[in-house]
Structure 1
Amino acid sequence: MANTGRGQGLRGRGDECEQLRRLLSSARSGSGQVLVLRGEAGGGKTALLEYLIAQARGFSVTHVAGVESDMELAFAGLQQLCSPLMTHVDGLPEPQRDALAVAFGRGVGPVPDRFLVGLAVLSLLAAAAEQQPLLCVIDDAQWLDQVSTQVLGFVARRLLAEPVALVFAARDHGAEVLHGLPELEVGGLSDSDARELLDSVVLGRIDERVRDRIIAETRGIPLAVLEVPRNVSVAELIGGFETSTTRPSAGHVEESFVRRIASLPRDTRLLVLAAAAEPVGDAGLLLRAAAALDIPVDALAPAEAAGVIEFGPRIRFHHPLVRSAAYRAADLADRRAVHRALAEVTDPQLDPDRRAWHAANAALSPDDEVAAELEASAGRAQSRGGIAAAATFLERAVALSADPRLRGARALVAARAKCDAAAYEAAYELLAIAELSPLSELQRAEMARLRAQMEFTRGRGGEPGAPQVSAAAADLIDAARRLQTIDDESAREAHLEALAAAMYASQCAPPGALVAAAESARHAIDNAADPHRPTDLLLSGMADLITGGLTDGADRLRTALESWCTHAQRNDGEALRWLSLAFPIVQESATGELWDDEIMHRLATAMVRNARDAGALATLPSALAFRAGVHVLAGEFDDAATLLEEADAISAATNHKPVKYHRLHLSAWRGNPDETAALIDVATDMASAKGEGRLLGLTGYTTAILHNGLGQYEEAFAGARRTCASNDLGFSGWCLVEMTEAAAHLGERDAAEDAVARLERRAADSGTDWGLGALAGAQALLADNEEADALFTEAIKRLERTRVVTQLARTQLRYGEWLRRSHHTTEARKHLGRAHETFSRMGAQAFAERARRELVAAGEKVRRQPMRSGDELTSQESQIARLAADGLTNQEIGAQLFLSTHTVEWHLRKVFVKLGISSRRQLRTLT
């Protein structure tokens, strides 16, 4: 079925209508539903949405349509959608309620993360749906402001057990953030349906050949067919006796509206233009604008008669394309006149941002006063979390700045905002404007730093045409050095970024690049007046570690990490900023080089809690991945997998690339050769393409873990040798243990001794049970009988006092193997049995099988058992069950996992059924 105008039916859309009815039925039964209608302009998406709304009996309905001229106002679309639901806002948790209030300009407070706003909207929809199902309809989603689209995309990916349907309509190449959601393609009608539609709107006979030509030209696009009576003469319809040059094809539907509007009287056209430029449809505002333009209100009558616009309490266009046609068809002078009138009549207190935007569009030439208003609007947008809107306001302010110094300063700030909004092309253009302006030395240094940051981010993201990570790392070092004599604090932050970038570049960077970065950072710290912040201590400690070894850097690193944890526990906001500044790579590497499992555990826990509490979903996936890595070392593979799945889900919901490092590490420990080999191949190709040498180093380390577990020591030796040569901080020291084991099994004595010597230099000074236990276990592989026995015993005792269960089980396995070969069979069976039990429990398939083979060789009868794969609970169910067992309420669990309370309840009901229990008290005894 097709749109035949309001009040008429639909044709040829039987399948689409059936899918929409099923969607409503599923939502009515409590299953959250999401659908994106995709198609070209005029294809009937709006008609299908109207059909959906008409069918939604028993639903509450909230509806918003994106407006092109409103795209720059942060949260404008979201606020309109949520406005009818705000009576439920008091029931939201306080952080969500506050985030929503700030985002909608109803309160003041710190800038809310847009995805915390998303969680608030999710909770709001769930609350509104408690009494009756809720239908949310978003038409012309390609014209929503960017932050509203991002938030709704996030909400759509988290809907599950709520009686809510979220339905979008968007053009084929718009609203990219919605890609990946369920879609329904809305194409042209079939020839037969298009003929029926044409016959229904044309009075009299149509020549068959003319009809066929019209159907072919319109390609069945409903709106193009509906416009035929307005664009094709009766003579041509009857027999083709005239030649029309204005018939609307699918690509010219909007042009037909342009022609219709152009035929109206001038005053009418100006009022239609004013309505098109005023996105809210406020009839009172339009009346005031008409007065400012000295046009009588009855001038709208011809537009109503022509089916262009409907005048009522809200101004409504016949079709969204009419609005865009009215605006685009107007000449520049008329647009400016209309925007000037709208700026005059828009209340500067109630709606200062829209007033500033109208004033900007009315400006004939640079105007510093209007530019200042736009700058203020950008500040308000940024305070609400509308980074993209702030960037657009600033970009326009740049164009209107008459003062060259102000123009350059604003261009630099706008470029930063565009970068934060991932609009890199626009950011580069603004940097070019700034570069031609009279900037201060500090501003030019900041510009160099911003350019280097963008190049590095694009390189890591693998964007086409982006420089390799190694090249971007060099630019960051240069930018940091440039700042050193100008702004001491900014220089140290830039050096920390440069050091992190050099660590990512690793073996793909020129030789000595990491050391050069560390030496430059050391110089910056030495010249600093008061380097007391955790980031300063972290930078100093890492620089000392790289240039002088663990002895030089350990104390500062430990102090830095302890201080960071303290700040994180206070939730003072600084911890998150420092985390994003240094990337998790520096903190992770520091804990790895310290061989300190306790500080690693505390740091990872604090990172996740801090990111969750702040709703910082841009940072949370990395924090979750770091926490997953801690679980892997502890042998808690199911917990690690749960966190990695959550990280991937959030990355998908926020349109970011998923985290790869710790998934590769987990897969290697689980010991599935096919899965791990596939991940290694993908990571190798990706690392080579991006110039990210650290990822190449990780592939060697994980290759060594996998093949040592499988007893394939040549492959393990080759992988370990690659990684140990690259010296990737954080895990190359751990890889020396893999190198020693593989070399010892192959009889590569010299290589094994070299690995142990290098391990001693990196672990002996740690003073931790993990570091000293790992060293003793490696030394035991090369020692004589009595010394080996003592070293193995020391290693096991030390590792038993740590959280690093994987290495404890590995050491028990090696000790058991050594005892069996030394003919101490009874003792060997004891240690091999412990190792086998631990590996089986954690799901380390390859190592468990290696321990089983040794047990059989020692005379123990051990059956092959299927590896533990966790309970029948899914990873998310397991996570919710643990949090519930810890005493968290459903609302608290939802806040932690960015789920609605209804979804948590739904998961818990499934948990109870699967575990055969009926209460949380029973849950505490099982988790």
Structure 2
Amino acid sequence: MLHGRLRERTVLDDLLAAARSGRSGALVLRGEAGIGKSALLAYAAGAAADLRVLRCAGIESESEFPFAAVHQVLRPLTGLIDAIPARQAEALRAAFGAAPAAGGDRFLVSLAVLSVLAEAAEERPVLCLIDDAHWLDGASADALTFVARRLDADGVALVFAARDGFAAPGLPELTVTGLDRAEAGALLAERSAVELPDAVRDSVVASTAGNPLALLELPAALTKAQLSGHSPLPDRLPVSAEVEQVFLDRVRRQDAPTQTLLLVAAAEETGDLALVLRAAATLGAAAGALDAAESAGLLRVDAHRVAFRHPLVRTAVYRGATFWQRRQAQEALADALTGEDDRDRRAWHRAAAALGPDESVAAELCHSADRARQRGGHAAAASAYERSAALTASAELRAARLADAADAAWLAGTPDRARTLLDRAGPLARDPLLRARLEHLRGSIEAACGTPSTAFAVLVAGAEPVAALAPDLAARMLTEAGQAAWLGGDAPGLHEVGRRLAALDGAVPLSAELVRGLDNLLSGDPAEAARHLRAVASAGSGAGGPAAPPGPPAADGQAGPPAATATPAAAGPPADPRAAMLIATGATFLGDDAVAIALFTAAVTRARSAGAMTALPWLLAPLSSLGAWTSRYAAATGDVTEGLRIAEETGQENPAAHLRAVLAWLAAVHGHEDDCRTHATAALARALGQRLGPAAGIASWALALLDLGAGRPAEARDRLAALAVAGPGESHPMVGIFSAADLVEAAVRTDEPATARQALGRLETWAAHSGSAWGSALVARCRGLLDADDRHFADALATHARGGRPFDTARTELLFGEHLRRRRRRADARRHLRAAHETFERLGLPTWADQAGAELRATGETARRREPGTPTRLTPQEVQIVRMVSTGATNREVAAQLFLSPRTVDYHLRKVFTKLDLTSRAELILRAGDFTDATVSASPVRQPG
């Protein structure tokens, strides 16, 4: 019987009711040991008789075995694996050791778990109960929390019970506390053999703080006389945190064979009864000891499995044994595991029993780590490599295994652990290639989580000793160093990287052309910059892959792909998504929006198909920036929202800063002042602290654009003028160029023509050499503002037609209309102001539409308010789904691309049909262009949850 817990039961009942109605939800029950979390899970299971109930529990000694808990959860659902996408099914079978491991991103397995649970919920709602989540293996914890954050319309409820130490960001939590006096008294009365006087009851309740497990176990430690009040209670009753000692005392009252069997069971992680009995028998514990342990209430036994009555019993048994006793138990278990499928468990038991360096054990554990990494269990692989290194006598081999551990820790999303392992490996490594590998990983971590200047220094210094030995590796490291220098605005650093890349043996890497172009941009030589960037942008599918962007290594665990080499142009986008990213970067800084967007989009699609979630923030950040600047606001909002969520989940704070800056820019153009300031403040806090110039610059530009749209030109001028002269790490020269037209407008409005002409000069020089249509249009607009000449405005509008930036076009129409109205040419002004107003309305930009409307009224014409259309009510996720459906993708294909379940996609698609008053998928495909580049629902740029 569950005493009290009305609050908790109500929350659980609501969760189950939502699952029955087809909605998903998750809950973390958090509290100390024995506080009643497991009892609440039992209540949920009892209340879910009409649901499919799946259960698993974390086991402390099993925490090094990847996907052990996920395997527990999905064991009843293995027949559904064939129903999920083939790549996911392959990854999941490999994770369970049922198929060859091919390596890959750990999130592909997580997506497979999501798909299987969603498939199960198609038959009936699912309740998934995860006990002792703080002891889950890292791979299972990542997968199950991933699923909990993404289930939506599937009818799946997940409930985690955990102590402190279980990280579940973004999931709702409920803290479970002790029972109150009345509830605790009722529990004591139910379980006590004698009636407790009020004084005894109150003393026990107070000493246990209402902890139910302590209330249940403490009476067994007291005499009947003490319980009845005839004898005084001990001076100090065990408090809730000491319940483990109560269990240990009970264990020590058993005979030696029983204690031995209990220890073997505590050391064995799966509850395999036959294995426990075989191992215990070799230590002199006959099967009869099992009966004694069960009779003492310490174990529960069925036909094939043995389980401890409570996890604290297991902990008390194992910790209460001596070192030598634990070692003997581990050796006995290792000897009893003789099958080929038992090799990983055998390796860990042998490692636990090792007294010192032992190469045979170390090698066996290293092979186990290899298998874990190939299955996507990077956290488990890191632990196995680290333990293998501890058992390795050779310093050089120990360093290599620590390097493997660091690499796995980084892929597991634990950069601090990876850095610590690198620090341990560094002093041991003598081989120059191994040292370069260590420095490459350290530099990649710094680029994603630290400062660009540190990443640059580490990568350049690490590449030098291997420039002749391994030029491909040196090229990868130097390219990443160049990217770090670019982020930090370090022109001398970029120049040095370009020089070193050019000096490498072999073909000139395509990455060298990019670095040279970026160097020229920072150094103020746009002509040379354009020449090098065109060489990059013209590269075709024959180009090899460039170095990965700063961030996690490639999914295969290597520090990066081979350096790309310059090749002739060829038709179609490059096959390698990282090559596409490199070429897209060149196109971006040449102002070729269409090519850059197409290449970034292709790279994102390939990363999604591969399940490479860790690469997505680095791709979605520039793609969402371009989407924002080209007025694809719905697409940009979807991309930036997804990118930020993934960046936060994977601990990549540097790309997260860029994404938050884009959110601020989107909020600014939509006139959402509070959101803009919130996102910009968050972006600047990270960007300025880590010297991330582009992110800092975009965030500051957003605040200036907000001022300009709100009619505060002086504030906008001050921000943009400061942006134009900001030092490295505070902004970026390209942001200064891209925002130059805004500075010209703000300066003209505040009667500062000198400031305007300086800004125009920078924009003119870049536009002339890049050949950018939209850049040339902005130059003509700025000339029109400064010279008050109709011809410049007309040229601007003619050039805008080739530039593909509707917001910029509408602003030129607005400025031209203002110019004509001031010259009392009202009829001419109306045509341009009307066009500006209509475009701003169509784009969903009320602040700018109001400006155009006010100008139009000043000419004597009232602006027509556009009726709010249904397309503006789509959410970012709905827009992403519509974009993919419009290409002909099925719901399952969309789900795989967006890391959702097919049922969730179907749910959102049905909402889209209702909002847009559509009746068929074909109609949606035909009309997709009407709203996927428009705005989104009410506040499209709020912080993702």
1:596 matched residue in structure 2: 592
2:706 matched residue in structure 1: 706
2:409 aligned with 1:418, yes or no? Answer: yes
Deviations 1:117-141 (A, max 9, x none): 2221111112122222222111111
The answer as to whether partners of 1:637 and 1:843 remain within 8 angstroms in 2 is no
Give secondary structure in 1 for the equivalent of 2:873: coil
Taking a change above 3 Å as real, the CA distance of residues 421 and 591 of structure 1, as seen in their structure-2 partners, is: same
Select between 55-64 and 234-243 the one with higher mean Cα deviation. 234-243
Select between 434-443 and 54-63 the one with higher mean Cα deviation. 434-443
Taking a change above 3 Å as real, the CA distance of residues 865 and 199 of structure 1, as seen in their structure-2 partners, is: same
Give secondary structure in 2 for the equivalent of 1:595: coil
1:110 matched residue in structure 2: 102
**Shift of residue 389 of structure 1?**
0.9
2:636 aligned with 1:643, yes or no? Answer: no
**Shift of residue 791 of structure 1?**
3.0
1:918 matched residue in structure 2: 919
2:191 aligned with 1:201, yes or no? Answer: yes
Aligned mate of 1:253, from 239, 243, 249: 243
Q: Which amino acid aligns with 1:500?
A: Q
Aligned mate of 1:383, from 368, 374, 388: 374
Q: Which amino acid aligns with 1:216?
A: A
After superposition, residues 421-500 of structure 1 pair within 5 angstroms as 421-459=412-450, 470-471=453-454, 473-481=456-464, 484=467, 487-500=470-483
**Shift of residue 837 of structure 1?**
1.2
Q: Which amino acid aligns with 1:387?
A: H
The answer as to whether partners of 1:275 and 1:286 remain within 8 angstroms in 2 is yes
In structure 1, what is the Cα distance between the partners aligned to 2:712 and 2:41? 60
Deviations 1:860-893 (A, max 9, x none): 3225668879433333234334433443222122
Taking a change above 3 Å as real, the CA distance of residues 677 and 904 of structure 1, as seen in their structure-2 partners, is: closer
- Percent identity between the aligned chains? 38
2:321 matched residue in structure 1: 330
1:876 matched residue in structure 2: 877
The answer as to whether partners of 2:581 and 2:619 remain within 8 angstroms in 1 is no
2:691 aligned with 1:695, yes or no? Answer: no
**Shift of residue 275 of structure 1?**
1.0
2:738 matched residue in structure 1: 734
After superposition, residues 762-911 of structure 1 pair within 5 angstroms as 762-783=766-787, 788-862=789-863, 870-911=871-912
2:567 matched residue in structure 1: none
2:87 aligned with 1:88, yes or no? Answer: no
2:141 aligned with 1:137, yes or no? Answer: no
Q: Which amino acid aligns with 2:661?
A: Y
After superposition, residues 402-413 of structure 1 pair within 5 angstroms as 402-413=393-404
**Shift of residue 360 of structure 1?**
0.4
Give secondary structure in 2 for the equivalent of 1:34: strand
1:359 matched residue in structure 2: 350
Q: Which amino acid aligns with 1:160?
A: D
**Shift of residue 279 of structure 1?**
1.3
Give the TM-score, by structure 1 length.
0.91
Deviations 1:757-795 (A, max 9, x none): 222222211123223323333233334x6xx43333332
Taking a change above 3 Å as real, the CA distance of residues 494 and 691 of structure 1, as seen in their structure-2 partners, is: same
The answer as to whether partners of 1:633 and 1:803 remain within 8 angstroms in 2 is no
Q: Which amino acid aligns with 1:17?
A: R
The answer as to whether partners of 1:477 and 1:517 remain within 8 angstroms in 2 is no
In structure 1, what is the Cα distance between the partners aligned to 2:414 and 2:621? 26
2:676 aligned with 1:676, yes or no? Answer: yes
2:491 matched residue in structure 1: 515
**Shift of residue 902 of structure 1?**
1.3
Select between 118-127 and 26-35 the one with higher mean Cα deviation. 26-35
After superposition, residues 251-330 of structure 1 pair within 5 angstroms as 251-312=241-302, 313-330=304-321
Taking a change above 3 Å as real, the CA distance of residues 676 and 62 of structure 1, as seen in their structure-2 partners, is: closer
The answer as to whether partners of 1:706 and 1:846 remain within 8 angstroms in 2 is no
Select between 882-891 and 563-572 the one with higher mean Cα deviation. 563-572
Select between 84-93 and 858-867 the one with higher mean Cα deviation. 858-867
2:41 matched residue in structure 1: 49
2:607 aligned with 1:607, yes or no? Answer: no
Deviations 1:4-38 (A, max 9, x none): xxxxx221224433433332232122222322211
Select between 181-190 and 40-49 the one with higher mean Cα deviation. 181-190
Taking a change above 3 Å as real, the CA distance of residues 706 and 866 of structure 1, as seen in their structure-2 partners, is: farther
In structure 1, what is the Cα distance between the partners aligned to 2:695 and 2:301? 61
Q: Which amino acid aligns with 1:908?
A: L
In structure 2, what is the Cα distance between the partners aligned to 1:388 and 1:239? 53
Select between 266-275 and 674-683 the one with higher mean Cα deviation. 674-683
In structure 1, what is the Cα distance between the partners aligned to 2:173 and 2:677? 34
**Shift of residue 274 of structure 1?**
1.2
In structure 1, what is the Cα distance between the partners aligned to 2:896 and 2:819? 50
Give secondary structure in 2 for the equivalent of 1:618: helix
The answer as to whether partners of 2:661 and 2:696 remain within 8 angstroms in 1 is no
The answer as to whether partners of 1:473 and 1:505 remain within 8 angstroms in 2 is no
The answer as to whether partners of 2:584 and 2:595 remain within 8 angstroms in 1 is no
2:764 matched residue in structure 1: 760
Deviations 1:545-599 (A, max 9, x none): 4346232233443443454877799999899966999999987764442111122
Select between 26-35 and 774-783 the one with higher mean Cα deviation. 774-783
Select between 278-287 and 721-730 the one with higher mean Cα deviation. 721-730
Give secondary structure in 2 for the equivalent of 1:922: helix
Q: Which amino acid aligns with 2:906?
A: E
In structure 2, what is the Cα distance between the partners aligned to 1:198 and 1:309? 23
The answer as to whether partners of 1:43 and 1:188 remain within 8 angstroms in 2 is yes
Q: Which amino acid aligns with 1:692?
A: L
**Shift of residue 248 of structure 1?**
3.1
Q: Which amino acid aligns with 1:638?
A: A
Select between 915-924 and 593-602 the one with higher mean Cα deviation. 915-924
Aligned mate of 2:365, from 370, 374, 381: 374
Q: State how many pairs are aligned.
A: 899
**Shift of residue 522 of structure 1?**
1.2
In structure 1, what is the Cα distance between the partners aligned to 2:924 and 2:643? 25
After superposition, residues 159-238 of structure 1 pair within 5 angstroms as 159-171=151-163, 173-176=164-167, 178-238=168-228
Q: Which amino acid aligns with 1:404?
A: A
Deviations 1:501-544 (A, max 9, x none): 333334xxxxxxx1121121112211112345543443343234
Give secondary structure in 2 for the equivalent of 1:660: helix
2:663 matched residue in structure 1: 663
2:630 aligned with 1:634, yes or no? Answer: yes
Deviations 1:81-128 (A, max 9, x none): 111101011111112212212222222353232222222111111212
Give the TM-score, by structure 2 length.
0.89
The answer as to whether partners of 2:347 and 2:365 remain within 8 angstroms in 1 is yes
Unpaired runs of 5+ residues, structure 2, are 549-553, 564-575, 929-945
Taking a change above 3 Å as real, the CA distance of residues 245 and 587 of structure 1, as seen in their structure-2 partners, is: farther
In structure 1, what is the Cα distance between the partners aligned to 2:881 and 2:559? 25
Deviations 1:47-85 (A, max 9, x none): 221222222212222211110111111111112211110
**Shift of residue 469 of structure 1?**
5.2
The answer as to whether partners of 2:494 and 2:518 remain within 8 angstroms in 1 is yes
The answer as to whether partners of 2:282 and 2:332 remain within 8 angstroms in 1 is yes
Give secondary structure in 1 for the equivalent of 2:28: strand
Deviations 1:388-445 (A, max 9, x none): 1111001101110111221122223322322333434443443343233252233334
**Shift of residue 601 of structure 1?**
1.4
Give secondary structure in 1 for the equivalent of 2:122: coil
Taking a change above 3 Å as real, the CA distance of residues 243 and 568 of structure 1, as seen in their structure-2 partners, is: farther
2:741 aligned with 1:751, yes or no? Answer: no
Give secondary structure in 1 for the equivalent of 2:123: coil
